[in-house]
């Protein structure tokens, strides 16, 4: 972040935090959010100035407890059963001095109501710094715990190099054995590092910060086999030379993605927390956002939450479509061997065949619950599902009602971990579905609740032609679905 104290945004953020924000599509007010953390079933983050947000479900965010230290652009990581906070003190911003410092502190819990809450000052340590006018401004900390259990912190901003040094994961203090900080990129903000499939990825933010709807903030990355680099982008350019492959920039209605943090929910389910510089639907304020991470050809990209609309729910297993098990209704016309083989129909003018409509078939559908099954997609009314986001959700996804388009007939979980559709959506928990895009781009669809069990389950293919509920396994193709629009 560009020393947004100078820009006076601290006051704005503070005012915003006094409001109770009901996030729609994830838009509570914050700037430079720390990686979203889960603690005892709730989710937390903190931004520049120490302002905090909390969420009961990961979708609806409200103003939360501030962290005890006011600083710039914090980050946090869970190590064992403790939470290590890293934040920055700054020398004055883009046009000021550049004597920054990275400070770490441990805490036992993030729940301010817990007697164990707090970040004891005795654990506080300055682990990196920059002096007045060197080619680095030691702010914007980002933490990574490697698969081997080594702890690193990256830091720096637009004034020179991004650097990395190693910390002791037991104490959070600097490991002097690491030696001098290593330059790993140049002129970024909000860097952090993640590990995926043999590579370390350095993520940073390029573009213009803090300019509202005109901001061009964008998240980029390079990758390396070592946490000390070199980090090379997709065209072979070193991030020390300014390289970086785009992860996320701007999307309609939202400008300026920055301050990446990664949340691994479980294998195949990853989220990125970040902020939009401006949310057009929220007066252009800076807001927290959470999107899926999709890995494509070895590079992370921001995925998509499902927009309200009508979709085919296609099984990744077979490519068949989820439908309600109603009587197949043949369509008239549009056939004839002459047409198939090219004979006899060559001289005839083509006509457009109307699609089968809901009103053509709904009269013969059973009035009560109707089972679902999976079969060839023919864009028939019993195969078209409308997703409508609700005002509650799970981490990074709203819950959706999923109904047959044009009706209120809703997909529902049943006792015994099976499926049905009920004639009317009531908003009951078993009729609410989270939809997570997975790291391979497919989707996981989970009921909020299943009657009679607390098991966490998702929509699964059973055989090619049936569907049920079962435990999610990213390596099981039965657990994955594609949502198609044509």
Across-strand partners of 203?
192, 221
Question: Contact 141/86 with Cβ under 8 angstroms?
Answer: yes
**Nearest-approach distance from CB 415 to other proteins, in angstroms:** 11
- Upper half-sphere CA count for residue 459 (Cβ side, 13 Å): 35
Of 39-47, 260-268, 332-340, 432-440, which part binds other proteins (CB under 8 A)? 332-340
Q: Which is nearest to 216 in space by CA: 267, 162, 278?
A: 278
Footprint on residues 116-175 left by other proteins (CB under 8 A): none
Question: Contact 319/481 with Cβ under 8 angstroms?
Answer: no
**Nearest-approach distance from CB 312 to other proteins, in angstroms:** 18
Question: Contact 372/382 with Cβ under 8 angstroms?
Answer: no
Nearer to other proteins, 285 or 417 (CB): 417
For residues 312 and 378, give the distance between their C-alpha atoms in angstroms, rounded to a whole number.
10
**Nearest-approach distance from CB 453 to other proteins, in angstroms:** 12
Nearer to other proteins, 287 or 315 (CB): 315
Of 20-28, 174-182, 319-327, 394-402, which part binds other proteins (CB under 8 A)? 319-327
Q: Is 476 in the site for other proteins (CB under 8 A)?
A: yes
Centroid of chain to Cα 44: 14
For residues 281 and 51, give the distance between their C-alpha atoms in angstroms, rounded to a whole number.
22
Per CB under 8 A, the list member of 81, 122, 197, 327 interacting with other proteins is 327
Question: Contact 414/465 with Cβ under 8 angstroms?
Answer: no
Per CB under 8 A, the list member of 251, 296, 307, 335 interacting with other proteins is 335
Q: Is 367 in the site for other proteins (CB under 8 A)?
A: no
Of 8-16, 322-330, 346-354, 396-404, which part binds other proteins (CB under 8 A)? 322-330
Sign of the dihedral defined by the CA atoms of residues 86, 87, 89, 92, in that order: positive
Residue showing tokens 């994961």: 169
Q: Which is nearest to 314 in space by CA: 357, 358, 374, 387?
A: 374
Per CB under 8 A, the list member of 309, 336, 344, 427 interacting with other proteins is 336
Of 97-105, 157-165, 174-182, 334-342, which part binds other proteins (CB under 8 A)? 334-342
Q: Is 477 in the site for other proteins (CB under 8 A)?
A: no
For residues 40 and 38, give the distance between their C-alpha atoms in angstroms, rounded to a whole number.
7
Footprint on residues 450-469 left by other proteins (CB under 8 A): 462-466, 468
Q: Is 325 in the site for other proteins (CB under 8 A)?
A: yes
Per CB under 8 A, the list member of 220, 375, 403, 404 interacting with other proteins is 375
Q: In which element (H, E) is residue 102 found?
A: strand 101-107
Nearer to other proteins, 144 or 313 (CB): 313
Three-class secondary structure of residue 93 per DSSP: coil
Question: Contact 45/53 with Cβ under 8 angstroms?
Answer: yes
Q: Which is nearest to 405 in space by CA: 466, 354, 359, 467?
A: 359
Q: Is 330 in the site for other proteins (CB under 8 A)?
A: yes
Q: Is 328 in the site for other proteins (CB under 8 A)?
A: yes
Q: Across the beta sheet with 37-39, what order do the strands follow?
A: 37-39, 42-46, 52-55, 61-64
Q: Is 211 in the site for other proteins (CB under 8 A)?
A: no
Phi, psi (5° rounding) for residue 345? -105, 0
Of 48-56, 285-293, 320-328, 402-410, which part binds other proteins (CB under 8 A)? 320-328
Nearer to other proteins, 422 or 435 (CB): 422
Footprint on residues 389-418 left by other proteins (CB under 8 A): 416-418
Per-residue binder mask for other proteins (CB under 8 A), 413-432, x = binder: ---xxx--------------
For residues 167 and 313, give the distance between their C-alpha atoms in angstroms, rounded to a whole number.
47
DSSP, res 208: -
Nearer to other proteins, 198 or 342 (CB): 342
**Nearest-approach distance from CB 376 to other proteins, in angstroms:** 8
Residues at the contact surface with other proteins, assessed by CB under 8 A: 325-328, 330, 335-337, 373, 375, 416-418, 462-466, 468, 476, 478
């Amino acid at each position: 972040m560009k020393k947004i104290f100078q820009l006076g945004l601290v006051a704005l953020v503070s005012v915003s935090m006094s409001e109770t924000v009901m996030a729609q599509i994830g838009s509570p007010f914050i700037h430079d959010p720390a990686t979203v953390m889960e603690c005892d079933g709730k989710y937390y983050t903190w931004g520049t100035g120490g302002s905090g947000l909390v969420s009961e479900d990961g979708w609806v965010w409200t103003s939360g407890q501030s962290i005890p230290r006011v600083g710039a652009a914090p980050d946090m990581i869970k190590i064992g059963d403790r939470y290590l906070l890293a934040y920055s003190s700054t020398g004055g911003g883009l046009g000021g001095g550049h004597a920054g410092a990275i400070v770490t502190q441990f805490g036992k819990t993030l729940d301010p109501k817990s007697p164990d809450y707090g970040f004891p000052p005795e654990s506080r340590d300055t682990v990196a710094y920059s002096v007045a006018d060197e080619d680095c401004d030691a702010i914007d900390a980002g933490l990574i715990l490697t698969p081997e259990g080594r702890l690193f912190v990256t830091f720096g901003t637009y004034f020179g190099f991004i650097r990395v040094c190693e910390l002791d994961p037991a104490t959070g203090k600097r490991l002097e054995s690491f030696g001098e900080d290593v330059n790993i990129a140049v002129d970024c903000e909000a860097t952090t590092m993640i590990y995926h499939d043999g590579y370390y990825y350095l993520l940073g933010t390029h573009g213009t910060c803090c300019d509202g709807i005109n901001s061009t903030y964008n998240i980029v990355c390079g990758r390396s086999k070592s946490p000390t680099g070199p980090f090379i982008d997709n065209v072979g350019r070193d991030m020390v030379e300014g390289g970086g492959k785009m992860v996320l920039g701007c999307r309609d209605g939202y400008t300026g993605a920055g301050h990446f943090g990664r949340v691994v929910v479980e294998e195949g389910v990853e989220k990125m927390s970040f902020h939009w510089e401006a949310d057009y639907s929220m007066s252009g304020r800076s807001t927290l956002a959470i999107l899926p991470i999709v890995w494509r050809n070895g590079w992370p990209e921001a995925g998509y939450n499902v927009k309200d609309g009508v979709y085919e729910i296609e099984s990744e297993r077979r490519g068949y479509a989820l439908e309600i098990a109603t009587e197949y209704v043949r369509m008239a016309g549009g056939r004839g061997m002459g047409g198939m083989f090219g004979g006899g129909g060559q001289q005839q003018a083509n006509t457009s065949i109307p699609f089968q409509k809901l009103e053509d078939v709904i009269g013969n559908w059973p009035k009560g619950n109707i089972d679902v099954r999976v079969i060839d997609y023919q864009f028939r009314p019993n195969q078209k599902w409308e997703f409508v986001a609700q005002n509650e959700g799970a981490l990074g996804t709203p819950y959706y009602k999923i109904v047959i388009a044009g009706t209120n007939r809703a997909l529902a979980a049943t006792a015994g971990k099976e499926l049905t559709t009920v004639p009317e959506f009531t908003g009951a928990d078993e009729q609410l579905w989270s939809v997570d895009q997975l790291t391979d781009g497919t989707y996981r669809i989970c009921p909020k609740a299943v009657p009679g069990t607390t098991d966490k389950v998702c929509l699964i293919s059973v055989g090619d032609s049936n569907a049920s509920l079962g435990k999610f396994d990213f390596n099981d193709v039965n657990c994955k679905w594609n949502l198609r629009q044509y």
